[in-house]
Structure 1
Amino acid sequence: MPLVTSKEMFKKAYEGKYAIGAFNVNNMEIIQGIVEAAQEEKAPLILQVSAGARKYAKPLYLKKLVEAAVHDSGLPIVLHLDHGESFEICKSCIDDGFTSVMIDGSKYPFEENIELTKRVVDYAHERGVVVEAELGRLAGIEDAVKVSEQDALFTDPDEAVEFVERTGVDSLAIAIGTSHGAYKFKGEPKLDFERLEKISNMLPGFPIVLHGASSVPSEFVELCNKYGGQIPGAQGVPESMLRKAAEMGVCKINIDTDLRLAMTASVRKYLAENPSHFDPRQYLGPGRDAIKQMVIHKMRNVLGCSGKA
């Protein structure tokens, strides 16, 4: 089975009131852990590449690893560019065989965002590639995305409708209170479900995307800290909120921080307990297993996409 686009995936997800997991990939072990989980759960899958991943591993290496995963698993897999910051980056990924790209023009004024997004949409659609865009901005820090709380703006429902109509974009990432990184909330976690419901009602059948949607499980934060980590007070989006969002038109949920936490906690624990070991396979193997178990948990308990491949 070749790489696929998300079009049919999102249609089924919207109708079935579940979401597809979009997991960020950076190396072989992360890809293997995610794909093994999807195989076990018989779940559709989006593997996405961020600016940081492109810089770290180079797009060609990641693409070939994802192609190997498709060949090995036989699963429907989307290869997605996460937070493409320019037309040129999106074009390059489209030309390299990505089946989905995100153009992030959320930092620009509304009209400029529309103009940039429409340009990417026109180029992508001519080549059978789907496009995600973003309207509204998420606070937090993750890879090249740095937005202060003061600059974070929730998505305006009327603007969302106009944006989709004028750009022809295939899915839209909105801001309703999630944020990038491990420190998403200082107080009580809260998402603007009223805003999400309004946008979903005004764009019936249209796929909504949630970025910054890791839950930052406390047990993994504690495990990291127990073995030398220093990430106190990290807090994510409660899984019950994400499950609710998936039932309200959110068809794609981005997860990155939770994978990092799972792998890092496992590697820290292994090295602390086995100080004489220095073979990377010895500690990256358990790290890969931790990724797999985290993704299985997400697919079963948050996304609701198990058995939907």
Structure 2
Amino acid sequence: MTELKKGLLEFKEIELEDVEAFTKIFESSGHMGSDASFATMYLWGKRYGIKAAVKDGFVIKIFGEENDKKYSYPCGKGDIKSVIETIKQDSIERYGKFIGLAMLTDENKEELEQLYPGEFTYEEMGGSADYIYLRTNLADLPGKKYHAKRNHISKFKRLYPEYRFEKLGKETFDDALTVAAKWCAVNGCTGSGGESLGAEYCAINRAFYNFDTLGMFGGVLYVNDEPVAMTAASRINDKVCDVNFEKALNFDGAYAMINNCFAQTYTDYDLLNREEDMGIEGLRKAKLSYYPERVLTRYAAIPKE
């Protein structure tokens, strides 16, 4: 990967040794986004060219292709205007101008506008919004709006009465990887168009290899002792977790079932962040069908000329 041009901030690749420092900062921010999960940043850092710097209690990320770099909005707690000024200077040193900020939430956008009134235009970053759900809704599937989901689960239980859900751990890693590998084989993780799916399979392997250090958890769904679905998640803060991976094989209702089992099992969290739709219409509809408590829309802040 091409080295970053020199600037004021010291950006570095994300390493496991950063987990404690970065997690402390992320949790202090109260941010609910998947980008405030250290595990997410670590697992996808190389794929998306993410590097990070710490400045005055904030984590700042730079990511993207060499000709399309982006600075993330600072995540942390403290004097954010001072940190943004540092980002401005860093950008000027690297690129000759301030290239702006990315991955802003509505709250970030409001804050930036108060700090720099009229200095930015804002563009929605399509496909980057996180879908955040009340855990109890996904666990209980209450009311008429979840009627279809309850039917999917009832059908699964009727078709596959010999099912069980096991927590993810050393004893179940191989079974979870079997699900991911079979899913990959069916959905074309190799060859033309499969690069991103193959990268996801690599990220799952990396997650399991560093499972405890990353503080991950999840489960495997079995039918007649055959693993048919897997899920893995990581903590964002004491209220929110990030569902990093979820894969199911061609068993009717398996996705609905593992989603429900996960929500019923991990009761320490109020909210489940099931990440973005990546601009895929089918994925967007699937995520909306579970009635998110909030869609965490993201914006780019572009400096006015």
Q: Same fold (TM over 0.5)?
A: no
TM-score, L = length of structure 1: 0.27
- Highest Rg: 1 or 2? 2
Structure that is richer in strand per residue: 2
Structure that is richer in helix per residue: 1
TM-score, L = length of structure 2: 0.27
